[in-house]
Structure 1
Amino acid sequence: MKPFRLGLVINPLAGLGGSVGLKGSDGVAQLAIEKGAEPKSHLRMQQALEVIQPFKDRIEVITANDQMGETLAKQLGFNTQVAYISEPMIEQDGFRTSAQDTKNAVHAIISQPLDLLLFAGGDGTARDVYAVVQDTVPVLGVPAGVKIHSGVYGITPHASGLVVKMLLEGELVSLMSADVMDIDETEFRQGNVKAKRFGEMLVPAEPRYVQAVKMGGKEVDELVLADIAADVIESMEDELFIMGSGSTVAAIMEDLYLENTLLGVDVIQDKQLLATDVTAQQLLELTQNQPTKLVITLIGGQGHVLGRGNQQLSPSLIKQLGKDNILIVATKTKLKALEGRPLIVDSGDPELDKALSGYYKVITGYHDYVMYQVANPDLVE
């Protein structure tokens, strides 16, 4: 049987700035490392590849050297061919690659016959891949960045692996065109979202596992947001409250007359601001041995509540808090737009994601709640 030829590219710097509150990695990788960030993209790709590891004898991986794919593919036992050798900057604390390395690697890989190009990164990586591929080769992204607005990614790394598994098992998987989106990270760090469409790439069309393009725009129903805010504020006592990102959470902060980091995470106590735009490590330190609740909302159109733009909310923090201390807030309009699809947790820890699954009481107004499922469709057999 002819082997399945899988192109593989990992952006080693993807998502590096998320856990330390930098809202991305473009141009700030060194600063992120200095703040204590650790690369995660290879672990995200590993979660995807482990799904298809049982098929490794039928797969030929074409990739780039070292941390761009070779090391992981060989570690997992795949037949691996290196098509591109990068010339990274070697610094005291490790391996570096550039956007140009990604483009060069993709160009070298797709110059050979290929069934699918699988890449790990964020929206910046998707742009780099699109600059070379455009719509000539089917691609699929493994979400590893801070910003995931593009529609070319699986909803989780495991889900990306399941799509490849479907192809390997000969299931009928159509191809569709999906938008490549990105935002200006400089503006993003100032709290301004300026998204731009760069083009389309061909992706395997599997709605359960491939995410939709993020819906833009703020909530405009001020009365509903005010009701949600009133309910949450009424419940605030002596505990710490971690306030996640997003416009619905921002409405609560506005009603408290507190400064808000729209695209970051803040901490309040006694209805006063304790810390602003905090990192993952700061959150662990602030909340250790302290009763704490987490207030989060979903990304419109996608349904993610963890793992998109809030990587400061680390698996260690979520385990420390416990499932019962998570408050989900959302308007019914946003929930209805999901058309019955569950809310998604993609914390980076698959076992934790399983533990977080179930039905939650979502705050949709003042003393107004709906029961809504939180799950990972990719973990359901």
Structure 2
Amino acid sequence: MARLGLIINPVAGLGGAMARKGSDEADIGARAAAEGRVSQAPMRAARALSAFRESCDAEVLAGPVLPDTGTVTPVGPDVLQGTAEDTKACVRAMAGQVDLILFAGGDGTARDICAANDTGIPILGIPSGVKMHSGVFARSPERAGRMTAAFLSDTRQRTEMVEILDLDEAARRAGRLSARLYTVARTPLDLAGARQNPKAGNTDPVGEMDAALAAYVAGMREDTLYVLGPGATMKALKDRLGGGSLLGVDVAEGGLVTGTDLDERALMARVAGRRVRIVLTVVGGQGFVLGRGNQQISPAVLRAAGMPPIDVICGAEKLAGLNPQELTIDTGDVALDGTLAGYWPVITGPGRRQVMRVVA
């Protein structure tokens, strides 16, 4: 009988709202606790398991045990602190016992699992980190749960190899946004588009997007606070407004960037009582506009800003490279994601827009 292994990184995603670009720092848990922050990884894992249990009753070996997720069998360490060694210990404890490892974390967690997965157990990620450039992650917790159930219920248990990527720190320090290939991993075969693609490089033609950004800046209102997301396209926009961060969320008003690399709480303070617009770009190859690398723009920030208009700027070539041809949002708030889903116009050039379907 098929069995599932479940691993949850208890500090995964904490760095997002804190504007830390990841959750790899040794003291991230303590810093988050001091600020009263709680990881969303257990909650996202519970969402995945709920979807899993709708059609599969396979035994789940988990370390540590999650509350309110049905019957699970403890395995590995009793308590996880979120270190790489904790994750690796869980993987080793599951060797030879499970048919699939479902994990809640980000790219760093995926790398740690691969480093200890000597027996080649297929793995699948519940997206719970900050960046998640790798192709091993489902597009949402619910998709992860349903995909897991389908895999364990299939006697063939078909798999494919995907890239495990993470942010290239050397490139980041040089002012470039780049994902580095670390390894490949075996994951359930995806025939329904449930899993995200690996992040692709920036394909926007420079001249065309320069003209689009210039036109956007020319149309910015003096009475509006602009919340500017991360990414290479957004960095080019910020440079036209005096300069800003590559991977951070900044704000601009009066034609200038007036706040850089702000965390969730700083953003909430800045947007309160203001006329606000959110400006984002698309993660290349993946199609995400919210929920990947910009968790500072949280549901709380969006509501504090009065659910402001969202402008998406992205070249037509990058949009054409998306498969499926749609944009994705994953804020962590299911109800809010459902409200935001629909059809959004995307600025693709000076005076040009392309309507894209947006799904949760």
Whether the TM-score (by the shorter chain) exceeds 0.5 is yes
**Corresponding residue for 2:38?**
38
- Decide whether the 8 Å contact of 1:295 with 1:328 is kept in 2: yes
Distance 1:129 1:224, change over 3 A: same
- Decide whether the 8 Å contact of 1:247 with 1:262 is kept in 2: yes
- Decide whether the 8 Å contact of 1:279 with 1:312 is kept in 2: yes
Correspondences of 1:143-158 after superposition (within 5 Å): 143-158=127-142
Give the Cα–Cα distance (whole angstroms) in 2 for the partners of residues 134 and 122 of structure 1: 20
Give the Cα–Cα distance (whole angstroms) in 2 for the partners of residues 221 and 327 of structure 1: 19
**Corresponding residue for 2:86?**
101
Correspondences of 1:94-173 after superposition (within 5 Å): 96-112=81-97, 114-133=98-117, 136-168=120-152, 170=154
Distance 1:187 1:25, change over 3 A: farther
- How far residue 221 of structure 1 moved from its aligned partner, in angstroms, is 1.9
Correspondences of 1:255-266 after superposition (within 5 Å): 255-256=240-241, 258-266=242-250
Q: Deviations over 1:5-43 (max 9, x none)?
A: 110000001111110111111124133444453211111
- Decide whether the 8 Å contact of 2:107 with 2:129 is kept in 1: yes
**Corresponding residue for 1:174?**
158
- How far residue 140 of structure 1 moved from its aligned partner, in angstroms, is 0.4
- Equivalent of 1:365, from 349, 355, 359? 349
Give, as a single letter, the amino acid of the residue that structure 2 aligns with 1:71: L
Give, as a single letter, the amino acid of the residue that structure 2 aligns with 1:37: R
Question: Is residue 2:271 matched to residue 1:273?
Answer: no
Give the Cα–Cα distance (whole angstroms) in 2 for the partners of residues 211 and 121 of structure 1: 15
Q: Deviations over 1:57-94 (max 9, x none)?
A: x22111213xxxx123xx2222x211212465xxxxxx
| % same residue | 34
Correspondences of 1:146-295 after superposition (within 5 Å): 146-168=130-152, 170=154, 174-184=158-168, 188=172, 191-193=175-177, 195-207=179-191, 208-216=193-201, 218-219=202-203, 221-237=205-221, 238-256=223-241, 258-295=242-279
- Decide whether the 8 Å contact of 1:26 with 1:185 is kept in 2: no
Greater per-residue helix proportion: 1
Q: What is the count of residue pairs matched by the alignment?
A: 356
**Corresponding residue for 2:6?**
8
Question: Is residue 2:30 matched to residue 1:71?
Answer: no
TM, length-normalised to structure 2: 0.92
Distance 1:189 1:171, change over 3 A: farther
- Equivalent of 1:354, from 330, 338, 359? 338
Give, as a single letter, the amino acid of the residue that structure 2 aligns with 1:11: N
- Decide whether the 8 Å contact of 2:48 with 2:143 is kept in 1: yes
Q: Deviations over 1:301-354 (max 9, x none)?
A: 000001111110101222344566000110000110014521000111111111
TM, length-normalised to structure 1: 0.87
Give the Cα–Cα distance (whole angstroms) in 1 for the partners of residues 204 and 42 of structure 2: 39
- How far residue 167 of structure 1 moved from its aligned partner, in angstroms, is 2.8
SS of 1:310's equivalent in the other structure is coil
RMSD (Å), alpha carbons: 2.2
- How far residue 230 of structure 1 moved from its aligned partner, in angstroms, is 2.3
Give the Cα–Cα distance (whole angstroms) in 1 for the partners of residues 114 and 293 of structure 2: 22
Give the Cα–Cα distance (whole angstroms) in 2 for the partners of residues 250 and 190 of structure 1: 14
Give, as a single letter, the amino acid of the residue that structure 2 aligns with 1:42: P
Distance 1:178 1:322, change over 3 A: farther
Give the Cα–Cα distance (whole angstroms) in 2 for the partners of residues 194 and 266 of structure 1: 20
Distance 1:339 1:71, change over 3 A: closer
Give the Cα–Cα distance (whole angstroms) in 2 for the partners of residues 191 and 37 of structure 1: 29
**Corresponding residue for 2:74?**
82
- Decide whether the 8 Å contact of 2:204 with 2:317 is kept in 1: no
- How far residue 54 of structure 1 moved from its aligned partner, in angstroms, is 2.9
Give the Cα–Cα distance (whole angstroms) in 2 for the partners of residues 135 and 286 of structure 1: 50
